[in-house]
Amino acid sequence: LNAMHPDIIVIRHQDSGACNLLSQKVNCAVLNAGDGRREHPTQALLDALTILNRKKKIQGLKVAICGDILHSRVARSNIYLLNMLGAEVNIVAPSNLLPKDIEKFGVNIFSNMKKGVKDCDIVMMLRLQNERMSSSFLSSNREYYEYYGLTQDKLEYAKSDSIIMHPGPMNRGIEIDTKLADDTNMSVVKEQVELGVAIRMACLKIFCE
């Protein structure tokens, strides 16, 4: 790759640390587009931009990140960035879908969905990453939806002007109700997709200069 003299390499890899390893072997900028289950920096940046676009601030906001935290690079990057920008982060997940060192992340931990989203400004849902699970973590998708899927009755515990986020791809009827996913007043999923293009264009411009 280095012999091709690229200006920038964009890499998404299933193994954590692959991006860092590559950056030590080439003479150009390396943009992390997804690093195993460890990091997804551009997703966190576009999520922060989406929040700013809707809420006009991040500091002081209360954000609930719900779902498969253990296997989610999106969760890790968002936790780091949102904490850095002054938000309060709640994590909502069953205990077997939490990292062992979750206490070190500077977050509030909940196993009850209604308690976890209570008074939150942002509710961010994550999909179950079955492809990263070597064994069964859940008894059934139906049970998961009952306890951890975002439904109208659970969302009522969040603030009345809360917004719903999801990095995609989305499993409707498992981590989120279809009506909520498509609610144009509360769901900002399409806005995330749109602003994701702008964020990645900006990253490419910065790294190529």
Segment 120-158, tens digit of pLDDT = 999 999 999 876 555 566 678 899 999 999 999 999 999
In 3D space, the residue among 202, 187, 208, 163 whose CA is nearest the CA of residue 46 turns out to be: 202
In 3D space, the residue among 88, 43, 70, 15 whose CA is nearest the CA of residue 189 turns out to be: 43
- Domains parsed from the chain with CATH numbers: 2-36 (no CATH), 41-192 (3.40.50.1370)
CA separation for the pair 118, 90 (Å, rounded): 10
Q: In sequence order, what are the residues at sequence separation of 6 or more whose Cβ sits closer than 8 angstroms to the Cβ of residue 134?
A: none
Q: Quote the pLDDT of residue 37.
A: 86
SS3 176: strand
Q: Quote the pLDDT of residue 140.
A: 86
Low pLDDT (below 70) residues in the chain: 131-138
Q: Quote the pLDDT of residue 135.
A: 56
Question: What's the token pair of residue 150?
Answer: 């975002």
In 3D space, the residue among 43, 132, 134, 38 whose CA is nearest the CA of residue 81 turns out to be: 43
Longest Cα–Cα distance of the chain, Å, equals 57
CA separation for the pair 98, 136 (Å, rounded): 15
Q: Quote the pLDDT of residue 199.
A: 98
Q: Which pTM does this prediction carry?
A: 0.94
Question: What's the token pair of residue 53?
Answer: 């676009």
Q: Which backbone phi and psi does 152 adopt, to 5 degrees?
A: -60, -40
